[in-house]
Amino acid sequence: MANPALILASASPRRRELIARLGVEPQAIAAADIDETPHKNEQPRAYAQRMAREKAAAVRSDHAHVLAGDTVVCCGRRILPKAEDEATARACLALLSGRRHRVLSAVALASPDGTVRERLSETIVRFKRLDALEIEAYIAGGEWHGKAGGYAIQGAAEGLITWISGSHSGVVGLPLFETRALLKAAGFVIG
């Protein structure tokens, strides 16, 4: 039995790799062009869920399911930015050094009939205390660019993490357990 048509609302190569682990191949990739600015006083959980829903809505199709996700790194109630420059990455890493933080990964699946199903993964991550040389070495590697919180867990940063509780794939960018549940509920056949 063939799966329904699926559009992945993300240009992220990591999300494409992750969804492939479920044996699901999107028929199309369409990055959602939306404003990702948090609302004033918006809490991290609500922000992640809103971003996933808005991305799915921006790519909505009458002929295919649309899967969208958003990953937010937060320290307390503070939403950390996607690092687009070294100064931002350095500030994020200094803030996360030696402490726990949360990674919220929201997934939304919009059906052709307009129904939207959602799931949220919450993971707690703890970095070792980073000295200035470790931060500069990580910055020099460039993995931080465009990453929420200034790091990519699937790269060199994994060697700086002392403890994780939750979904590793959620920190990478698409929580597979939650995504699998959404797809199965929508009629996808997943091994």
Catalytic positions: 70
- Exposure of 80 in the CB half-sphere (CA atoms within 13 A): 28
Task: Write out the E strands in 76-115.
Answer: 78-79, 100-110
Residue bearing tokens 């829903």: 53
- The secondary element (H helix, E strand) that includes residue 126 is strand 116-127
Contact 7, 30 (CB under 8 A): yes
- The secondary element (H helix, E strand) that includes residue 169 is helix 168-172
Contact 55, 49 (CB under 8 A): no
- Exposure of 40 in the CB half-sphere (CA atoms within 13 A): 0
